[in-house]
């Protein structure tokens, strides 16, 4: 019979790998707390209109990558392809702007995009991210960008490349869009059909092309920096100034527009040379118009999101975790099993130890072999003699030394 396999672009995380995931997740929670951000959890699926309206119908995500279906109640639903739109929906729905002027969220979540799977690109993937809703000031941009950067450096990642750009306010972009249109029209015959559609709807999207010959054409396109208002320029320069103060090196990339339509002003990505073609570790930017566009009160906001699978690739097996058991219970015979279960329970509850028990009724040699395999620090051995003397043997698996300890002294022994 054919076995059923996981769907292309999805994967199982088995226990050997999940300790690394747990390590990363612990680091995320700790790190976000250190900046005063609170965790938000939003549903795995939403009304499709939320993503159509926020990410934009001409983006790759909405036009070809969303998992969308109509349920039995005729609701048009989509598995979340990103989290920002959901956070904004929740922010508006719960009226959070009224309670606090500045709301700072972080999340760890599973996302779904029907992309062509390859190293670092999956159809179900995990992101962590932050959204700061309420401040229009450049120091908020600097905080967000530096959070992404310092999270990685704290984990020991090197060779990071921060790419940054300002795509300006809506007003700045009116003239720029026209300049882009004028620039691309002579190339109309050479552009892909997607770019021709984008030429009319949102020419900035063309700058996000993945097609090589279009990338060549773009090299000579007008740059947004020449169209920014004084206010936009001042904001961007202050962001760069704060980054320099924090010793964060950056490259200005005039054509970085990001793959989602809701951005304005500052946009950025952090890349790692270890990632290959899917080089973006994380990306984000300002989205000062999105809250109003989704029906809330006009509120400035900025955030970023980071792929966890890509972080794991970039960590390149450098994180060594100690998953070894503290104690392995070696029990021989029914009475020993009975007493062993109770001792294991006490050690977990009273001493917070990781205790593994045999469960397969193997012989003593095999149980000790298993203890070694699990790199247990101690083995507690209980056989008939030990039960008769109301004691156990505690073997230090590293030194090989062993001691006889009476039942009522075991907890004290480990507490010491």
Q: What are the residues binding ligand HAM (CB under 6 A)? A: 82-84, 113, 115, 120-122, 125, 127, 129, 131, 259-260, 280-285, 303-307, 309-310
* Smallest distance, ligand HAM to C-beta of residue 187, A: 27
CB of 193 to ligand HAM, least distance (A): 23
Rounded to a whole number of angstroms, the minimum distance from the CB of residue 274 to ligand HAM is 13
Cα separations (Å) of 132 from 167, 263, 372?
19, 14, 49
| Shortest CB 303 distance to ligand HAM, Å | 3
Place of tokens 């999805």: 10
Residue 144 Cβ vs ligand HAM, minimum distance, rounded to whole Å: 8
Quote the longest CA-to-CA distance of the chain: 95
Least distance CB 65 / ligand HAM (angstroms): 8
| Residue (121 or 362) nearer to ligand HAM, CB | 121
State the nearest-atom distance from the C-beta of 143 to ligand HAM, in Å. Answer: 13
Smallest gap from residue 127 Cβ to ligand HAM (A)? 5
Tell me which residue of 177, 176, 140, 99 sits closest to 303, measured CA to CA. Answer: 140
Give the 3-state DSSP-derived string for the chain, with helices as H, strands as E and coil as C.
Answer: CCCCCCCCCCCCCCHHHHHHHHHHHHHHHHHHHHCCCEECCCCCEEEHHHHHHHCCCCCHHHHHHCCEEECCCCCEEEECCCCHHHHHHHHHHCCHHHHCCCEEEEEEEEEECCCCCECCECCEEEEEEEEEECCCCHHHHHHHHHHHHHHHHHCCCCCEEEEEEECCCHHHHHHHHHHHHHHHHHHCCCCCHHHHHHHHHCHHHHHHCCCHHHHHHHCCCCCHHHHCCHHHHHHHHHHHHHHHHCCCCCEECCCCCCCCCCCEEEEEEEEEHHHCCCCEEEEEEECCCHHHHCCCCCCCEEEEEEEHHHHHHHHCCCCCCCCCCCEEEEECCHHHHHHHHHHHHHHHHHHCCCEEECCCCCCHHHHHHHHHHCCCCEEEEECHHHHHCCEEEEEECCCCCEEEEEHHHHHHHHHC
Smaller CB separation from ligand HAM, 55 or 329: 55
Closest residue to ligand HAM, judged by C-beta, is 307
For ligand HAM, give the closer residue by CB, 50 or 337.
50
Pick between residue 184 and residue 304 the one whose CB is nearest to ligand HAM: 304
In whole angstroms, how close is the CB of 394 to ligand HAM at the nearest point?
A: 47
Name beta bridge partners: 379.
328, 395
Between 13 and 349, whose beta carbon lies closer to ligand HAM?
Answer: 13
8 A C-beta contact, residue 147 and residue 33: no
- Spatial separation of the C-alpha atoms in residues 306 and 96, rounded to whole Å: 24
Q: Give the nearer residue to ligand HAM in terms of CB position, either 150 or 407.
A: 150
Q: Which is nearer to ligand HAM, 115 or 346 (CB)?
A: 115
305 vs 376 by CB, closer to ligand HAM:
305
Rounded least distance, CB 269 to ligand HAM, Å = 7
Q: Which residues contact 258 (CB under 8 A, 6 or more apart)?
A: 208, 267, 269, 283, 285
Smallest distance, Å, CB 401 to ligand HAM?
A: 49
By beta-carbon proximity to ligand HAM, the closer residue of 309 and 391 is 309
Q: Are 345 and 158 in contact (CB under 8 A)?
A: no
Comparing CB distances to ligand HAM, the nearer of 89 and 113 is 113
The nearer residue to ligand HAM, 302 or 410, going by C-beta atoms, is 302
């Amino acid at each position: 019979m054919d076995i059923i396999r996981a769907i292309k672009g999805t994967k199982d995380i088995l226990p050997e790998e999940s300790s690394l995931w747990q390590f990363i997740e612990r680091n995320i929670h700790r790190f976000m707390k250190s900046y005063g951000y609170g965790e938000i959890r939003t549903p795995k699926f939403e009304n499709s209109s939320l993503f159509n309206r926020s990410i934009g119908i001409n983006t790759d995500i909405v036009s070809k990558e969303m998992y969308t279906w109509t349920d039995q109640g005729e609701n048009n639903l989509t598995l979340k392809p990103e989290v920002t739109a959901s956070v904004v929906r929740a922010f508006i729905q719960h009226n959070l702007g009224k309670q606090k002027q500045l709301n700072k969220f972080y999340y760890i979540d599973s996302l779904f995009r029907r992309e062509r799977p390859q190293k670092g690109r999956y159809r179900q993937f995990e992101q962590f991210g932050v959204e700061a809703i309420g401040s229009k000031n450049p120091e908020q941009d600097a905080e967000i960008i530096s959070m992404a950067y310092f999270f990685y450096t704290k984990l020991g990642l090197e060779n990071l490349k921060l790419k940054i750009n300002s795509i300006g306010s809506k007003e700045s972009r009116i003239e720029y869009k026209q300049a882009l249109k004028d620039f691309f029209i002579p190339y109309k015959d050479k552009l892909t059909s997607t770019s021709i559609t984008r030429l009319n709807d949102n020419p900035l999207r063309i700058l996000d092309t993945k097609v090589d010959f279009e990338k060549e054409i773009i090299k000579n396109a007008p740059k947004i920096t020449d169209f920014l208002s004084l206010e936009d320029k001042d904001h961007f320069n202050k962001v760069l100034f704060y980054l320099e103060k924090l010793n964060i090196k950056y490259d200005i990339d005039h054509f970085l527009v990001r793959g989602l339509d809701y951005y304005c002003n500052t946009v950025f990505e952090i890349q790692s040379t270890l990632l290959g073609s899917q080089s973006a570790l994380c990306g984000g930017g300002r989205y000062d118009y999105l809250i109003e566009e989704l029906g809330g009160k006009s509120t400035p906001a900025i955030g970023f999101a980071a792929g966890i699978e890509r972080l794991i690739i970039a960590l390149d097996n450098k994180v060594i975790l100690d998953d070894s058991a503290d104690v392995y219970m070696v029990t021989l015979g029914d009475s020993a099993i009975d007493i062993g279960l109770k001792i294991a329970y006490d050690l977990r509850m009273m001493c917070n130890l990781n205790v593994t028990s045999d469960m397969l009724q193997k012989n003593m040699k095999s149980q000790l072999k298993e203890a070694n395999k699990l790199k247990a620090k101690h083995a507690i051995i209980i056989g008939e003699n030990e039960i008769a003397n109301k004691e156990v043997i505690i073997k230090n698996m590293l030194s090989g030394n062993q001691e006889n300890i009476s039942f009522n002294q075991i907890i004290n022994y480990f507490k010491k």
